[in-house]
Amino acid sequence: MSRNGAEILIDSLAAFGVDTVFGMPGDGINGIMEAIRTRAGTMRFIQVRHEESAAFAAAAYAKFTGRLGCCLATTGPGGTHLLTGLYDAKFDRAPVIAITGLPFHDLSDSFTQQDIDHTKVFMDVAAYSARIMSARHVESAVSLACRHAVAYRGVGHLAIPVDVQEEPESEAKPSSRNIPHHASLVQAQGEMRAPDAEIARAAEVLNAGTRVAILAGEGAGGAVDELLQTANLLAAPIVKALRGKGLVADDDPLTTGGIGLLGTRASHEAMEQCDTLLIVGSTFPYIEYYPRPERARGVQIDRDATRIGLRFPAEVGLVGDARQTLAALNRLLRRKADRGFLTRARQSYAAWRDLLRSAADRDASPMPPGRIAREVGDRLDENAVVVWDSGHNTGLMARYVTARRGQRYAGSGMLASMGCAIPYAVAAALAHPDRQIVAFVGDGGLSMLMGELATITRYRLPIKIVVIKNNTLGQIKWEQMMFLGNPEMECDLTPIDFAAVGQACGIRSWHVEDASQCAAVVQQAFEHPGAALIEAVVDPNEPLLPPKRNDKYAKNLERAIQQGTPGAKELQEALAREPARSMLSP
Ligand SMILES: Cc1ncc(C[n+]2csc(CCOP(=O)(O)OP(=O)(O)O)c2C)c(N)n1
Ligand SMILES: [Mg+2]
């Protein structure tokens, strides 16, 4: 029997390795829903409560599986809801296919209901965006959308009029130039490789350095052994961008942990003091945390030639797969006899970790924010998947959770969008049903896509959710004060009883406020076999500060507090306490 447009669509996506579609039904995609229903053996549909979650989950699924992620939304509002999650995919280079409905083909662009031309709307976010014109057009359009998503590591978008979904191929007359099945659905592989002469030049630069640092990110993911070997040869501390947190264990002798506002003092100093920087698979965005261009030489490895020299001048740029490139480079590197730079960086890192540990040890109610992150971190499985949201809570996860090798960390990186953590956790649990999945989320971020708690229950996903409750948009509160010296403005949040919300959505939930109870509560929630939510009330006055004093920020903070930020006395006390005191000390 002849297949219709929607059936060809689903079969063609399956040929490109798509096995899961995140979305919400709607009358603009009923035909596609039916095609998925009749192909349940090869394609599973995951129903979400907001299409933004579908796009986040598709991006996360692509990150976790290495395959194409896919999201589906109806015409008009469904399609526009996808956008933020699709920008996450675009920014973090995750291959995703977005499918949206359109009105009947001969009524589109006629102000009919929900008549948004998604091909225009998606033009910026998608590497390829096409309106499918007939059942005879589906195969080639899917092929191109998938190839663009994979080749450009971004979004391929297809908009399908509702009647084309129903149209049988046999009744759709091809145009005179359209030979049926002229397009291929084969998956193609291949990588660029840097020329040997350039690898030799990179080795010369690195061999000449006396204080080499390595900045590594998500792109170094498949090259961890090679990266450790490079670091060892060069006696170079590995500074990890947030998306690289799980690359190397946080207590590995070759790392100084994270970088940036949520990084460590040792990484900050390594970047300040190095004379040579090797960047591997990272476009960490904050330029002020890189070495000054005139103070260090640069070598950069990236799969994408357009990213070379993006944040820091690369004297040598090597385009290619990190693993192959590092392996070739390592053969040309001489083991540095002087290990002083690494040793000093590691001493600074040890002091930093002691500082955080003792600050989080303080027994108080509400608890120091680091306490909950540390207690969770200490109870993670060897191969846990940890997802983050965006906010102070991300900084707590980054700083207080000790990553071990084999664990996976993920979240919205370059887009840094709030609300991503729960959809990311859903995708992680579906991609890795045998692994422990833990989501860190703020009270602001959770309230954005709170409906997905019901998605967790619907699919019985044993996700552990840690809600950092400070009743404020914490990160922004501190940024308003620190960056501009202004009093906090409209950051406070009306409290929500998240434990009650969790219970109402079918998730066993705990509330903890007192630091001395924290370990026991985390233990209980983690031992619970199903999904669990921990609402952890933390001290809202403990700031999120860069690891090393910034004079301007310190002055601004004082000014903001004097100029009328509520709770001035408590804020002053928190700033005088560890870990803030050390971070503000010259
Ligand atoms: C979708 C979106 N809106 C706004 C922001 C700006 N923003 C970054 S962090 C933050 C505060 C987050 O608050 P919450 O989730 O409570 O986390 P906290 O900082 O308190 O831990 C805001 C508003 C963002 N990153 N994403
Ligand atoms: Mg908050």
What is the CATH classification number for the domain harbouring 432? Answer: 3.40.50.970
Q: Are 264 and 354 in contact (CB under 8 A)?
A: no
Q: Are 253 and 535 in contact (CB under 8 A)?
A: no
Is 177 part of a structural domain of the chain? no
pLDDT band at 192 (very low <50, low <70, confident <90, very high): confident
Q: Are 86 and 125 in contact (CB under 8 A)?
A: yes
Residue type for 257, please?
G
Q: Ligand 1 pocket: which of 396, 412, 418 to mutate (most atoms <8 Å of CB)? A: 418
Residue ranges near ligand 2 (ion) with Cβ within 5 Å: 442-444, 470, 474
Per-residue confidence (pLDDT) for residue 509, from 0 to 100:
98
* Residue 540 Cβ contacting ligand 1 at under 6 Å: no
Q: Are residues 292 and 322 in the same domain?
A: yes
What mean pLDDT do residues 529-540 have? 97
Residue ending a domain, choose from 322, 346, 370: 346
Per-residue confidence (pLDDT) for residue 388, from 0 to 100:
98
Strand pairing report for 437-442 and 508-512 = unpaired
What mean pLDDT do residues 32-38 have? 98
Checking if the pLDDT of 582 tops 80, the result is yes
Average pLDDT, the chain: 97
Distance (angstroms) between ligand 2 centre and the Cα of 46 equals 29
What mean pLDDT do residues 508-533 have? 98
Is 174 part of a structural domain of the chain? no
Is 357 part of a structural domain of the chain? no
| Tens digits of residue pLDDT in 561-570 | 988 888 899 9
Checking if the pLDDT of 1 tops 80, the result is no
Query: Cα(381)–Cα(364) distance, rounded to whole angstroms?
Result: 27
| Tens digits of residue pLDDT in 414-436 | 999 999 999 999 999 999 999 99
Per-residue confidence (pLDDT) for residue 455, from 0 to 100:
98
| Tens digits of residue pLDDT in 337-389 | 999 999 999 999 999 999 999 999 999 999 999 999 999 999 999 999 999 99
Per-residue confidence (pLDDT) for residue 252, from 0 to 100:
98
What mean pLDDT do residues 195-217 have? 98
Q: Are residues 118 and 202 in the same domain?
A: no
Checking if the pLDDT of 524 tops 80, the result is yes
Per-residue confidence (pLDDT) for residue 255, from 0 to 100:
98
Per-residue confidence (pLDDT) for residue 586, from 0 to 100:
84
Q: CA end-to-end span of the chain, whole Å?
A: 76
Supply the CATH number for residue 294's domain: 3.40.50.1220
In the chain, the number of structural domains is 3
Out of 239-248, 268-277, 472-481, 561-570, least confident range = 561-570
Q: Which residue in 101, 40, 89 sits closest to 427, CA to CA?
A: 89
Q: Are residues 299 and 384 in the same domain?
A: no
Out of 179-188, 341-350, 394-403, least confident range = 179-188
Is 172 part of a structural domain of the chain? no
Q: Are residues 114 and 204 in the same domain?
A: no
319: enclosing H helix or E strand = strand 316-319
Domain of residue 258: give its range.
196-346
Q: Which residue has the tokens 């219709």?
A: 4
What mean pLDDT do residues 285-311 have? 97
Per-residue confidence (pLDDT) for residue 523, from 0 to 100:
98
Checking if the pLDDT of 129 tops 90, the result is yes
pLDDT band at 190 (very low <50, low <70, confident <90, very high): confident
State the closest ligand 1 atom to the C-alpha of 470, by its place in the atom list counted from 1: 20
Q: Could you tell me where the beta strands, DSSP code E, fall in 169-267?
A: 212-216, 238-240, 255-258
* Residue with CA at minimum distance from ligand 1 atom 20: 474
Q: What is the pTM of this model?
A: 0.97
* Residue 412 Cβ contacting ligand 1 at under 6 Å: no
Per-residue confidence (pLDDT) for residue 566, from 0 to 100:
86
Query: Cα(112)–Cα(185) distance, rounded to whole angstroms?
Result: 34
